[in-house]
């Protein structure tokens, strides 16, 4: 067995930084259970030279193992521990672009980008082919994408991604951000916003972007696609084909700053219906529709505020749509405090492949 030390990335968010070590320990446990054959052991927080590390032991890591571990959400550096010495392990992350793709957007209610990456990672680990995260090209869908943090993380990984959001202001903000970011980074791309029509009625607006990580890749046709629809995700099947996504990843509204969904109308209209504080109503209605978009063997991951919905409620919603909830100890280590009104957790379920 070889000992390793993982240095956790510093976070600008003080509260998240306090939880980061525990979260990456849980994430590492999921990686071990689902993709590394349980070979990662003795995961704990250890001080080395007065600096906190997450340490673990494992059989000699293969190159593919290192490629996977290089994408741990809060990983800053990885070392092999040899007595009192630390030998750096060369990382091989999937990242195609600079970190500004994830960090440049600043707005109230933005999901921490480290947590977004974690949620995407542990959802990918729940599929029937977890190593596809680094050896394949799973397609990602965020049915409540807001201003696109999940889509940006998928793009960072080189994955095709799609999102939906009912908020027109968030849609416009993401269109403006992405077009500006692509232009400033001089990436070859095509971006178009169109109305989606059925029988002459406008169902929503759609942003469709085709881009290449380099000019050479773009010219050769090795591109990725980002699609965002400004419409209610309860109607996701009107915009996307069944079984067209490998991963469905979303951060459910917390029922604090903005409700999860209006009871009987569009959000934000003056004098309109009151918003529900619980994501349970929204997920009860939406998960069956989302599940139809998930391919067999794929997985869905949802984070939510435990103060306004119990884990057992979400598990029942997922199970009633034919999904198998991942409920091992590894998947139960992610609950953490966001602020006084929000205690965040995540739940992941897979669609049976048989």
Q: What is the pTM of this model?
A: 0.92
CATH of the domain at 213: 3.40.50.150
Q: What is the pLDDT of residues 118-173, one digit of tens each?
A: 999 999 999 999 999 999 999 999 999 999 999 999 999 999 999 999 999 999 99
Would 138 be classed as within a structural domain?
yes
Cα separation of 236 and 268, whole Å? 21
Last-in-domain residue among 89, 114, 144: 89
Using CA atoms, how far apart are residues 247 and 250, in angstroms rounded to an integer?
Answer: 10
Does one domain contain both 199 and 136? Answer: yes
Does residue 290 form part of some domain?
A: yes
Please indicate, yes or no, whether residues 173 and 208 belong to a single structural domain of this protein: yes
- If you average pLDDT over residues 256-267, what whole number do you get? 41
Q: Are residues 188 and 336 in the same domain?
A: yes
Q: Are residues 251 and 344 in the same domain?
A: yes
What is each CA distance from 321 to 91, 139, 293, in whole angstroms? 39, 20, 12
169 and 63 assigned to the same domain: no
For residue 174, which phi and psi values (nearest 5 degrees)? -70, -40
Could you tell me which residues come within 8 angstroms of residue 256 by beta carbon, excluding any fewer than 6 positions away? Answer: 277, 305, 341, 342
- Helical ranges in the chain per DSSP H: 14-35, 63-69, 100-103, 113-125, 132-135, 149-156, 168-184, 215-219, 279-293, 311-320
> Do residues 6 and 148 share a domain?
no
Residues 52 and 117 grouped into a single domain: no
pLDDT in tens, 267-324: 433 333 444 557 899 999 999 999 999 999 999 999 999 999 999 999 999 999 999 9
Q: Report the pLDDT averaged over residues 108-116.
A: 89
In a domain, 271, yes or no: no
Residue 308 exposure: Cα atoms within 13 Å on the Cβ side: 23
| Rounded-to-integer distance, Cα 136 and Cα 138, Å | 6
Domain boundary among 57, 89, 121: 89
What whole-number distance in Å separates Cα of residue 145 and Cα of residue 154?
A: 12
199 belongs to a structural domain: yes
Q: What is the pLDDT of residue 125?
A: 98
Domain boundary among 62, 89, 116: 89
Predicted confidence at residue 270, as pLDDT, reads 30
Spatial CB neighbours of 240, under 8 Å, sequence gap ≥ 6: 141, 162, 293
Which SS3 state, helix, strand or coil, does residue 295 take?
A: strand
In the chain, how many domains are there? Answer: 2
Same domain, residue pair 244 and 161: yes
CATH number for the domain that contains residue 78: 3.30.70
Q: In the chain, pLDDT over 70 holds for what percent of residues?
A: 93
Cα radius of gyration rounded to whole Å, the chain = 20
Are 107 and 212 in the same domain? yes
Residues 162 and 302 in one domain: yes
Same domain for 319 and 291? yes
Q: Tell me whether residue 265 is in a domain.
A: no
Checking if the pLDDT of 259 tops 80, the result is: no
Q: Is the residue at 36 inside a domain?
A: yes
Task: Sort residue 204 into left (φ over 0), alpha (ψ -120 to 50) or beta.
Answer: left
Give residue 82's domain range.
2-89
């Amino acid at each position: 067995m070889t000992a390793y030390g993982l240095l956790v990335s510093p976070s600008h968010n003080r509260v998240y930084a306090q939880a980061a070590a525990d979260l990456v320990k849980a994430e590492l446990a999921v990686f071990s259970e689902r993709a590394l054959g349980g070979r990662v052991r003795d995961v704990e927080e250890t001080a080395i030279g007065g600096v906190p590390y997450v340490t673990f032991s494992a059989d000699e890591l293969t190159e593919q193992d290192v490629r996977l571990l290089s994408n741990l959400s809060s990983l800053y550096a990885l070392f092999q521990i040899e007595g009192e010495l630390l030998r750096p392990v060369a990382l091989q992350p999937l990242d195609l672009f600079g970190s500004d793709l994830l960090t440049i957007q600043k707005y109230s209610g933005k999901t921490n980008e480290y947590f977004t990456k974690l949620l995407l990672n542990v959802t990918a680990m729940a599929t029937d082919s977890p190593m596809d995260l680094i050896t394949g090209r799973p397609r990602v869908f965020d049915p409540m994408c807001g201003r696109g943090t999940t889509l940006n993380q998928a793009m960072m990984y080189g994955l095709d991604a799609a999102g939906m959001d009912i908020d027109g202001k968030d849609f416009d903000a993401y269109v403006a951000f992405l077009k500006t970011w692509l232009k400033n980074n001089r990436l070859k791309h095509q971006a178009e916003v169109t109305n989606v029509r059925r029988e002459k009625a406008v169902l929503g607006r759609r942003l469709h972007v085709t881009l290449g990580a380099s000019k050479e890749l773009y010219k050769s046709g090795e591109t990725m696609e980002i699609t965002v629809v400004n419409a209610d995700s309860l109607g996701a099947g009107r915009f996307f084909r069944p079984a067209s996504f490998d991963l469905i990843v979303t951060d459910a509204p917390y029922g604090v700053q903005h409700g999860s969904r209006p009871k009987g109308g569009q959000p934000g209209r003056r004098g309109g219906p009151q918003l529900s504080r619980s994501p349970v109503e929204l997920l009860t209605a939406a998960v069956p529709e989302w599940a139809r978009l998930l391919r067999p063997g794929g997985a869905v991951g949802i984070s939510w505020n435990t103060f306004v919905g119990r884990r057992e409620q979400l598990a029942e919603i997922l199970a009633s749509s034919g999904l198998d909830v991942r409920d091992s100890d590894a998947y139960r280590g992610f609950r953490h405090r966001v602020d006084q009104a929000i205690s965040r957790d995540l739940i992941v379920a897979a669609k049976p492949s048989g």
